[in-house]
Amino acid sequence: MASQEMINEYRRWRAFQRQAQLDTEHRAARRKIDESRVSATRMTEAYRAMAEKGAEEGAFYRTIYLRSHEDAALTCEGWLFVRRVLAEGGSTRVRATLLETFQLANGQLEPGKTPAEKVTLEIYDQLLVEKGMATAVRVDRIDGDRQVQFLTFSDQVRGDMRRHLD
């Protein structure tokens, strides 16, 4: 096997390893949120705090989310800059900028390697019929297709990425 081909195979293997790790992390975090019965109101408060810290300190928060592909949903990773939280007419929307840092097709990317993407997320309570009519909070992208179940970690924050904003 030629050395360049071997290096390409190794990079592909590392991308699949990272994909498996992110899939596991997303499932575990989603389960923890569902079990703790976090409400949309409480999630909205967390995003408001992120927006305040973003305005004051330029804070970006690590986020993982699912991107649907034909018959599978794969976890992606990025850094989210929350610009503002809007509550209107019974729905809560989050305006943010996403710097994607991992998706299986491209592998691991440095922040800023791909253009920053403006996103609108919606926070809502979802009814879980299979779990005895329980509710669980969801955060889904509404201005793009195929990106759902955003999980943003308020304890994983960076303040050095403002230069990547448009």
Residue-wise pLDDT tens digits, 97-153: 999 999 998 899 998 888 999 999 999 998 777 666 778 899 999 998 789 999 999
Q: Which residues form the domain of 114? A: 3-164
Question: Hunting for tokens 């253009």 — which residue is that?
Answer: 115
Q: What angle do CA 28, 110, 71 make, to 5 degrees?
A: 45
Looking at every residue in the chain, the average pLDDT score rounds to 91
- Structural domains in the chain (count): 1
Radius of gyration of the chain, Cα coordinates, nearest whole angstrom: 17
User: Three-state SS for 17?
Assistant: helix
DSSP secondary structure letter of residue 88: E
132-to-60, 79, 123, 127 alpha-carbon distances in Å: 36, 35, 22, 9
Whether the CB-CB separation of 153 and 61 falls below 8 Å is answered with: yes
101: which residues sit within 8 A by CB, 6+ positions away? 77, 78, 79, 108, 109, 110, 111
pLDDT at 69: 81
pTM: 0.90
What's the whole-number mean pLDDT along residues 84-104? 92
Closest of 3, 2, 6 to residue 14, by C-alpha: 6
